[in-house]
Amino acid sequence: MDKGEPKWRRRKEARPSEIVQAALQVFSERGFAGAKLDEIAARAGVSKGALYLYFETKEELFRAVVRQAVAPNVAMVVAFAEAFEGSFADLARALLPRAAMVIQATGLGKVVKIVVGEGRNFPELARAWHDEVIQVALGALTRLIERAQARGEIAPGDPRIHAFSLIGPLLLGVLWRETFEPVGAQPIDLAAIAEQHVETVLSGMLVKQGEGGR
């Protein structure tokens, strides 16, 4: 035993992002408390000890996951929305399906689940997510709604609740897929939710005739 491959290589630069990538996977599959550092290390191709050369604690590793793997995607969607020229209705019709896609492609839904489920036991997780994701995304959407209200385009009412009205069902769809489909629930199509719900929320669920508003 001599010449062959070395047991490991020194790759100070590449490690952190590889570890973060592996951590995203394992956190997604097992949640925060359920994720084992040994498994993260194994998937990143290093030993557990190496993790501690780059990240001080498990929580700090999770924060790094949020910052490097999640926040950029959110920023992209927000930038798209803020650069959008056209009516709010058209923006909404473009935004929801796009958000649905990004959520599925990035495994963002799984991280949401972690934060929701373990926020109570690990408040730092909830705070990091709130500051880096929610504040940014929901804040941007709320401002867009306020502007559309000022233009007389959409109905009065708390703009933040309007934002909830828009994205709530999408989130429900995400949680449905992640939580109940694996145990036998009837599958649901996220893109279909996005499409139908946008039209519902923009023009209403009631058939137009005498009825209308309250």
Interface positions with DNA (CB under 7 A): 6-12, 15, 35-38, 41, 45-50, 52-53, 57-58
Q: How far apart are CA 1 and CA 102, in angstroms?
A: 48
Residue 15 binds its own copies, judged by CB under 8 A? no
Residue 49 contacts by C-beta under 8 Å, 6 or more apart in sequence?
A: none
Q: Which is nearer to DNA, 51 or 70 (CB)?
A: 51
- Residues 132-171 vs its own copies: string with x where CB under 8 A? --x-----------------xxxx-xx-xxx-xxxxxxxx
Task: Identify residues 83-102 at the interface with its own copies (CB under 8 A).
Answer: 87, 89, 93
Residue 87 region by backbone torsions, left for phi larger than 0, else alpha for psi between -120 and 50, else beta: beta
Residue 25 contacts by C-beta under 8 Å, 6 or more apart in sequence?
A: 43
Q: How far apart are CA 185 and CA 111, in angstroms?
A: 21
With CB cut-offs between 5 and 8 Å by kind, which of DNA, its own copies, none does residue 47 bind?
DNA
With CB cut-offs between 5 and 8 Å by kind, which of its own copies, DNA, none does residue 210 bind?
none
With CB cut-offs between 5 and 8 Å by kind, which of its own copies, DNA, none does residue 1 bind?
none
Task: Identify residues 40-69 at the interface with its own copies (CB under 8 A).
Answer: none
| Tokens, residue 13 | 């630069």
Closest to 66 in 3D by CA, of 122, 131, 12: 131
Contact 71, 132 (CB under 8 A): yes
Q: Which is nearer to its own copies, 6 or 156 (CB)?
A: 156
- Least Å distance, CB 121 to DNA, is 10
CA-CA distances (angstroms) from residue 151 to 46, 74, 83, 186?
56, 26, 17, 41
Identified binder of its own copies from the candidate list 11, 34, 38, 147, rule CB under 8 A: 34
Contact 80, 137 (CB under 8 A): no
Which positions touch its own copies (CB under 8 A)? 29-31, 33-34, 87, 89, 93, 113-121, 123, 126-127, 130, 134, 152-155, 157-158, 160-162, 164-173, 175-176, 178-180, 182-186, 188, 192-193, 196-197, 199-207, 211-214
